């Protein structure tokens, strides 16, 4: 693959047109087109500016390293942002279910089921990022689960007819 093809792939990967690249570098669109068609080569200054614009290294633009290396470097940043959003959602869900299990403590069957959901989301959020909030949420969810089960079993034991001998 020629340098021009690397330049074109990098530009397209960023979703830029030749005109946008030309405006960013203060060159003509024809210059960008000539670089991508391998009719001319960008100067060192333009090559450095292109690498900054495309957020990649000069080695990748000149074909010294493959694009796959660049993609591997870029993806974790995106995944990290998505992962942070997921962690926040799991935290909110675990806290919400824990609060709901405390509020629904009078109805032990529902409280127990909600506590189980709180435990599941607490464990998921702790697995991704261990914080004190996740730990406290997990502990409270387990306490509410045990209390809900205790109340449920005591209500059933005392309501059974065979105890009234």
- Judge whether 71 lies within some domain: no
Q: At what angle do helices 108-128 and 67-103 cross, to 10 degrees?
A: 150
pTM: 0.42
For 39-96, the pLDDT digits (tens) are 988 888 888 888 888 888 887 777 776 655 444 434 434 455 667 787 788 888 888 8
User: At residue 26, does pLDDT exceed 60?
Assistant: yes
Specify the pLDDT at position 75: 41
36 shares its domain with 80: no
Q: Is 120 helix (H, G, I), strand (E, B) or coil?
A: helix
- The domain tally of the chain equals 2
49 shares its domain with 12: yes
- Judge whether 70 lies within some domain: no
Domain stop point among 65, 91, 119? 65
54 shares its domain with 84: no
> What phi and psi, each to the nearest 5 degrees, are found at residue 64?
-70, -30
Between 75 and 161, whose confidence is greater?
161
- With b for 16 or more beta-carbon neighbours within 10 A and e for fewer, the 75-101 pattern comes to eeeeeeeeeeeebeebbebbbebbbbb
- DSSP string computed for 54-107: TTS-HHHHTTSS-HHHHHHHHHHHHHHHHHHHHHHHHHHHHHHHHHHHHHGGGS
81 shares its domain with 155: yes
Tokens of 137: 């949420």
7 shares its domain with 26: yes
159 shares its domain with 80: yes
Q: Residue 60 belongs to a domain with what CATH number?
A: 1.10.260.40
60 shares its domain with 82: no
59 shares its domain with 134: no
Specify the pLDDT at position 147: 80
In terms of residue numbers, what domain contains 84?
Answer: 76-163
Domain stop point among 14, 34, 65? 65
55 shares its domain with 125: no
């Amino acid at each position: 693959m020629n340098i021009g093809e690397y330049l074109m792939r990098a530009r397209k990967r960023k979703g830029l047109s030749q005109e946008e690249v030309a405006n960013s570098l203060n060159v003509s669109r024809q210059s960008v087109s000539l670089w991508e068609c391998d009719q001319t080569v960008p100067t060192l200054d333009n090559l450095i500016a292109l690498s900054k614009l495309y957020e990649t290294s000069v080695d990748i633009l000149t074909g010294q390293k493959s694009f796959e290396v660049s993609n591997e470097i870029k993806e974790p940043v995106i995944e990290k942002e998505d992962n942070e959003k997921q962690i926040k959602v799991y935290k909110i869900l675990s806290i919400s279910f824990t609060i709901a299990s405390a509020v629904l403590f009078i109805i032990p069957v529902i409280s127990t089921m909600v506590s189980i959901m709180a435990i599941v989301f607490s464990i998921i959020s702790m697995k991704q990022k261990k914080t004190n909030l996740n730990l406290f949420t997990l502990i409270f969810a387990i306490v509410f689960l045990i209390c809900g089960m205790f109340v449920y079993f005591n209500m059933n034991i005392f309501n059974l007819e065979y105890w009234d001998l």
